[in-house]
Amino acid sequence: MHRYTVINLLNILFTLQIYIQFYYKPNLIHLISQPPVYNQPEQIEEQLEESLALDVSLLSIEPQSDKKDLSFQPLSSTSTSTTNSEEEECEMHWKQKKWIVNEPNVMELFKRCQECGSVITKTAKATVGSVLRVHWECEKKHKGKWSSCSDVRGMPANNLLVSACTLFTGATYTDIADWATLLNLQIPHKTTYFDIQSSYLIPVIDEEYKEQQKAAMNDLHLQTELCNPVHLSGDGRSDRQVNVVIFIFLTIFKKIFLTSFVLVVLLALDFSAKYNTYSFMDDTTDKIVHFELVQVTEASSSVAMEPVGFKRAVNTIQEQGIKIDVLTTDRSPSIRKIMRVEYPNIHHEFDIWHVVKGLSKKLCSMSRYKDNRELQPWTRSICNHLWYCSATCGGDPDELIENWKSILYHITGVHSWFKEGKQKKCVHNDLSPEQQRRKKWLGKDSRAFHTLQSLVLDKGLEKDLRQMALFKHTGQLEVFQP
């Protein structure tokens, strides 16, 4: 997710500027019609407390009266020169360097009149979120006003940018607000932040995403037309935080009885997950081409959400005229069945990452038994071996399976052997007598070896390995969490 966001952050920020200028006219009406904040008498220094309250309801967004809308003059699409200069101005706000400046240091600048040089007798400060405005008057009655940043159509540019940068970096408002409070740095109030988020940022992300998705789909469509194989990876994710947190909490306190009781209650209430997102990534470009969000009410149970999202996503992609050649997923039984029954023409691969993770868990739990302790130092090497076999088999499942099974020779200290009249050997370099002597090989008759043997030669695993020869892994997809 982060990589995807960072790559597209600049695009999104730029689209945001364009969007605010052209598309979001209903709100622009309010933005433009709002009187500048510094004209409002309640914002002067004497009533600074009120000015803080004003931050809460972003003046620029909340209209005070509808009749002001009449003053709005929509942008004429023919005035391209204005458009370009406005675009440039918006880009300028964003590119300008920003500094953390202390208030007393700013106020030092308001000692002498900029027109006549005489002493400034009155100053008043006003704040709008992240922006400081200063009004001054000299003894000869010259007046002036200064603002720490300029406005984008009535909204202080930095309020928009603080909100945008918070959301676009994946942070929450609370994270940024805590940091800012500790520093006593002025940022927009929570309400303002969420107003800006829902009025501008979310629609912009939505629009930018749709545009990029369209481009990604067009690329895949072109690949289909050129008869280039399309390889996609898919993975689902549910919102299980609530019960996981409760479970961890209870486990820590070793309330085993209570834990199982709560779990049963949670399952009974179907409290486990309300949403599931199934996402598809293009293996060549690592771009998310599509995702489906399924609500629990759309499926028979929370577990059934994933297959619903999966099917819906595959159908949507196919409806775009894209021929999927290879689809990689985890080994979930429901997805396997759907692939076998409904999409027999798509080659179904299994994600090596999920399989190795499962194998590692199994080995860890088995090696806890006294008889299998000797397996412990080997767990990592065995998992690496599976990964290596998939990566180097060149798409040949037979070679993958044969190499995988060779672990049973190596682990007993045998590095060359005969099979069906042919000499076979391990791929590693020859071991020195010292290396051979020091390694803790398993005895062929040991319990640990037999345990491993039953795991390595497992018929179910062998069958699955046939769908792992293309060395597909969805690790990239794991970091994407819509």
Q: Which residue from 25, 122, 142, 153 is in contact with Zn ion, where contact means CB under 5 A?
A: 142
Q: Closest approach of Cβ 407 to Zn ion, in Å?
A: 9
Q: How many residues bind Zn ion (CB under 5 A)?
A: 9
Interacting span for Zn ion (CB under 5 A) from 137-145, 254-262, 313-321, 435-443: 137-145
Binding residue for Zn ion (CB under 5 A) from 115, 206, 211, 430?
Answer: 115
Spatial neighbors of 276 by CB under 8 A, at least 6 apart, are 236, 237, 238, 239, 293, 294, 302, 305, 306, 308, 309
For Zn ion, the closer CB: 266 or 426: 426
| Residue closer to Zn ion, measured from CB, 72 or 409 | 409
Q: Name which of 39 and 416 has its Cβ closer to Zn ion.
A: 416
β-strand partners of 150:
none
Binding mask 189-208 for Zn ion (x = CB under 5 A): --------------------
Q: How far is the CB of 400 from Zn ion (least distance, A)?
A: 17
422 vs 418: CA distance, rounded Å: 5
User: Would you count residue 68 as binding Zn ion (CB under 5 A)?
Assistant: no
**Would you say 274 and 296 are in contact if contact means Cβ atoms under 8 Å apart?**
yes
Q: Which stretch binds Zn ion (CB under 5 A): 6-14, 41-49, 116-124, 157-165?
A: 116-124
Q: Is 88 in the site for Zn ion (CB under 5 A)?
A: no
Among 44, 124, 131, 138, binds Zn ion (CB under 5 A): 138
Residue 396 makes CB contacts below 8 A (sequence gap 6+) with 469
Among 25, 221, 323, 415, indicate the residue that binds Zn ion (CB under 5 A). 415
CB-nearer residue toward Zn ion: 121 or 260: 121
Instruction: Choose one: 80-88, 251-259, 425-433, 472-480; the region binding Zn ion (CB under 5 A).
Output: 425-433
User: Smaller CB distance to Zn ion: residue 115 or 225?
Assistant: 115
Shorter beta-carbon distance to Zn ion: residue 113 or 126 = 113
Does residue 389 bind Zn ion (CB under 5 A)? no
The residue among 46 and 115 lying less far from Zn ion, judged by its C-beta, is 115
CB nearer to Zn ion: give 124 or 289: 124
Query: Closest distance between Zn ion and the C-beta of residue 417, in Å?
Result: 10
**342 CB-near residues (< 8 Å, 6+ apart):** 311
- Angle between helical axes of 352-366 and 379-392 (0-180°, round to 10): 160
Q: Does 312 bind Zn ion (CB under 5 A)?
A: no
Question: Residue 426 interacts with Zn ion (CB under 5 A)?
Answer: yes
Residue from 109, 116, 215, 391 that binds Zn ion (CB under 5 A)?
A: 116
Query: Whose structure tokens read 């018929």?
Result: 459
Interaction between residue 410 and Zn ion (CB under 5 A): yes
Query: Is 113 an interacting residue with respect to Zn ion (CB under 5 A)?
Result: yes
Q: How far is the CB of 468 from Zn ion (least distance, A)?
A: 22
* Residue range at the interface with Zn ion (CB under 5 A); choices 108-116, 155-163, 219-227, 301-309: 108-116
CB of 157 to Zn ion, least distance (A): 29
Residue whose CB is less far from Zn ion, 36 or 144 = 144
Does 37 help bind Zn ion (rule: CB under 5 A)? Answer: no
Span from 83-91, 139-147, 209-217, 447-455 in contact with Zn ion (CB under 5 A): 139-147
Q: Which of 2, 98, 111, 140 binds Zn ion (CB under 5 A)?
A: 140
Closer of 71 and 436 to Zn ion (Cβ) = 436
Token readout for 339 is 């692939």
- Which of the stretches 136-144, 184-192, 211-219, 446-454 binds Zn ion when contact is defined by CB under 5 A? 136-144
Instruction: For the chain, give the number of residues.
Output: 482
The piece of 24-32, 155-163, 339-347, 419-427 that touches Zn ion (CB under 5 A) is 419-427
Measured from the CB of residue 5, what is the shortest distance to Zn ion in angstroms?
44
User: CA-CA distance, 371 to 425, in Å (whole number)?
Assistant: 29
- Give the footprint of Zn ion on this chain (CB under 5 A): 113, 115-116, 138, 140, 142, 410, 415, 426
